[in-house]
Amino acid sequence: MARYLVTGGAGYVGSHVVLALLDRGDDVVVLDNFSTGHRAAVPDAAALVEADLADGRALAEVFAAWKFDAVFHMAALSLVGDSMRQPLHYIRTNLGNSLGLAEAAVRAGCKRFVLSSTAAVFGVPRILPIDEAAPREPVNPYGESKLMVEQGLAWAEGAHGLRSACLRYFNAAGADPAGRAGEDHTPETHLIPRTIMAAMGRVEPVTIFGTDYDTPDGTAMRDYVHVADLAAAHLAVLPRLEEGSVAYNLGNGAGHSVREVIAAVERVSGRAVPHTVGPRREGDPPVLVASSARIRAETGWLPRHDSLEEIVRTAWNWHAANPGGYAGRVAQAA
Ligand code: UDP
C-alpha cells in the first residue's frame, strides 16, 4: 500500500484527489491551513494535519512522521483577479510554499511531486487547442507564480532527482458523482457554481462578462473538465514519473461559451437562470481549449465525464444536497 501527502486536500480539487486515492486503498495525509478549504471536506479515513506550508518546522514534522511515495501539491492561492491586485503576495506565497515543500520532500527522500498547475501559464494562446509546446507567457501573477514553480521543479530534477508532474488544469468543474465532495468557495466567483446558485435564487442574477468576443455567440469559451477526471489524472501520471518529469494539459478539448453554460444549467435544472450582460472581465482570454492528447497517449488517461451536461448535473446535485456548502453539512451532522 502506498502513502501520499496531499496539500490543500481540504480544497476543491484536493478533496477529489483524496477521495480517488482512498477509493483505491491508498493511505492519505492531508495538510491544509483551512484558509479556503473545509475541515468537513476531509474524510475520516485520511490523516489530517492543520498547518501552513510556510511553517518549515511543521513541514519537517510531517515528513518525519510519515514516509510518502509522492506529494500532491494542491494548496495555493488561485484567483486571477486577486493576483492582479496583490501580485507580490501571490507570487511569494505560491512560489515560496511550493519550493519549501519540494525541498522538504527532497530532504526526506521523497522524489515524486505532482503539482496543481494551470492553463494560466499560457496567457492568451495564439493557437488552439493549446498543447504542451505552446509558449508559456502568463498574463497575470497567478499564472506567473505557477510557471515559476514549474521552472523550479524542472531544475530540481537534475540536481536532486525530484521527478515532477505539472498538471495544467483548464476549468475544473462538477462534483464527486457519489455526492461526497463538491465546490464551495466564499465568495463564489466561478461561472458554473454561480449560475447554479442564481438558478436556485441564492445569489443575484449571473452577469455575462462580455458579449462582444469573436466567438459564435459573442461570449467567452472555456474547456470545462470534470473535477473527478482531474483527480483521476493525478493517479494516472504516477507510473509515468518513473521515466522522468512530465507536464500535461488537462481538459476535454471542447470549448463551451458562457451562454452554453447557462443553457446547460437551465436544461439540467428545468429552471430559468436570471442573468444580465456586463463588460468583459479584465485579463480574460476569449477562448481557452486544451489539447490533452499527450496525457492520453502517455498514460491512458481518458475523461469519463466529458459532457457539459453531466458536469453541470453533478454540480447541481451537490448544490441541491448541500445548500450551505460544507458548513451546512456540519450543522446537519450536529
Ligand atoms: N464568467 C461570467 N460571469 C461570471 C463568472 C465567469 O461571464 O459571473 C465567465 C468568465 O468571464 C470566463 C468564464 O465565465 O469567460 C469562466 O470563468 P471562471 O471564473 O469560472 O473561470 P476562469 O476561466 O476565470 O478560470
All domains of the chain, ordered by start, with CATH? 3-174+226-250 (3.40.50.720), 175-225+251-334 (3.90.25.10)
pLDDT in tens, the chain (334 residues): 899 999 999 999 999 999 999 999 999 999 999 999 999 999 999 999 999 999 999 999 999 999 999 999 999 999 988 999 999 999 999 999 999 999 999 999 999 999 999 999 999 999 999 999 999 999 999 999 999 999 999 999 999 999 999 999 999 999 999 999 999 999 999 999 999 999 999 999 999 999 999 999 999 999 999 999 999 999 999 999 999 999 999 999 999 999 999 999 999 999 999 999 999 988 788 999 999 999 999 999 999 999 999 999 999 999 999 998 999 887 666 5
Residue with CA nearest ligand 1 atom 19: 190
172 DSSP β-pair partners: 225
Please indicate whether residue 275, judged by its CB atom, sits closer than 6 Å to ligand 1. no
C-alpha cell at 8: 490543500
Quote the pLDDT of residue 333.
63
Give, for ligand 1, the residue of 83, 281, 312 to mutate: max count of ligand atoms closer than 8 Å to Cβ.
281
pLDDT at 33: 98
Are 67 and 3 in contact by the 8 Å Cβ rule? The answer is yes
In the reported structure, the alpha carbon of residue 171 is separated from the centroid of ligand 1 by a whole-number distance in angstroms of: 9
And the C-alpha cell for 63? 515528513
C-alpha–C-alpha distance, residues 216 and 126, integer Å = 18
Cα(207) to ligand 1 centroid in Å equals 10
**Residue nearest ligand 1's atom 14 by CA:** 191
3-state secondary structure of 114: strand
**C-beta of 209 in contact with ligand 1 (< 6 A):** yes
Q: Contact 265/195 with Cβ under 8 angstroms?
A: yes
Q: CA 145, CA 135: separation in Å to the nearest integer? A: 16
Q: What are 209's strand-pairing partners?
A: 278
Pairing of strands 70-73, 3-7: parallel
- At 167, which helix (H) or strand (E)? strand 163-169
At 288, the amino acid letter reads L
Q: What is the number of other CB atoms lying within 10 angstroms of the CB of residue 292?
A: 26
User: Which DSSP category does 24 fall into?
Assistant: T
The one catalytic residue among 142, 213, 248, 326: 142
Positive/negative CA dihedral, 313, 316, 322, 326: positive
Q: Quick one: pLDDT at residue 19?
A: 98
The number of angstroms, rounded, from the C-alpha of 25 to the middle of its chain's C-alpha atoms is 23
* Model pTM score: 0.97
Task: Look up 142 and say whether it is catalytic.
Answer: yes
User: Ligand 1, closest atom to CA 261?
Assistant: 14
